[in-house]
Chain A
Amino acid sequence: EAQVTQNPRYLITVTGKKLTVTCSQNMNHEYMSWYRQDPGLGLRQIYYSMNVEVTDKGDVPEGYKVSRKEKRNFPLILESPSPNQTSLYFCASSDYIGDETQYFGPGTRLLVL
């Protein structure tokens, strides 16, 4: 089954404690991205990657890092989380060479205390 998986699905942490949210897709997609969703603001893109070792900033990259060492994985790293990073995070992937569809993961709900 074609899917995008994220782990963990729920996470409570404290300010300053480094964390990583993993994202993996099994569709051999080149393009992957991270979004955050906040009430009243919709989904906003954090970072994206066009392929292995190619990443770029989205609209709200401050406080986040990403890496793309393998095609299937695109982890989101918060090196020093702050309460304003409390949000719902979605990973997405697509095959921009063909299919127009972006596939989204189930989401990771993060609470930073």
Chain B
Amino acid sequence: DAKTTQPNSMESNEEEPVHLPCNHSTISGTDYIHWYRQLPSQGPEYVIHGLTSNVNNRMASLAIAEDRKSSTLILHRATLRDAAVYYCILRQFGNEKLTFGTGTRLTIIP
């Protein structure tokens, strides 16, 4: 499975934008970039995914580098409820398996 690299932890102030980086230099052409997050004492939940183009949904935006070797998850206005571990995952087209790394622990400062 292609590997991703994320910072272990990040902090952000409440109500400010947060940019969570992910490096995936060995990404293949059939790999989708998925982001999940895990709130304290809960199971992971889907955030967003993309292939080549930038993506937006009600939770976040995903910015994908032109060479696809990196991506950034953007939370436009962080709230305390966004404090979680965020996982960047490469998922091969047609393969349901998610390979989780250790993710980025995001702390929101009130």
A residues sitting closer than 8 Å to B (CB atoms) are 4, 31, 33, 35, 40, 42-45, 48, 50, 58, 90, 92, 94, 96, 100-107
The 10 A-B pairs with the shortest beta carbon distances in the complex, nearest first, are A104-B43, A43-B100, A101-B46, A42-B100, A31-B96, A104-B44, A90-B43, A96-B96, A42-B102, A107-B43
- CB neighbours of A92 from chain B (8 A): 43-44, 98
Q: Contact at A100–B43, with CB atoms within 8 Å? A: no
Q: For residue A91, which residue of chain B has the nearest CB?
A: B43
**B24 interface hit (Cβ, 8 Å):** no
Sample (29) of A-B pairs whose CB atoms are under 8 Å apart: A31-B96, A33-B97, A35-B100, A40-B102, A42-B87, A42-B100, A42-B102, A42-B103, A43-B44, A43-B100, A45-B99, A48-B96, A48-B97, A50-B96, A90-B43, A90-B44, A92-B43, A92-B44, A96-B96, A100-B34, A100-B46, A100-B49, A102-B44, A102-B46, A102-B96, A102-B98, A104-B45, A106-B42, A107-B42
**B101 interface hit (Cβ, 8 Å):** yes
CA distance A42 to B87 in the complex (A): 10
Q: For residue A90, which residue of chain B has the nearest CB?
A: B43
Q: Most chain-A CB neighbours within 10 Å: which of B43, B45, B94, B103? A: B43
CA distance A92 to B45 in the complex (A): 10
- CB neighbours of B100 from chain A (8 A): 35, 42-44
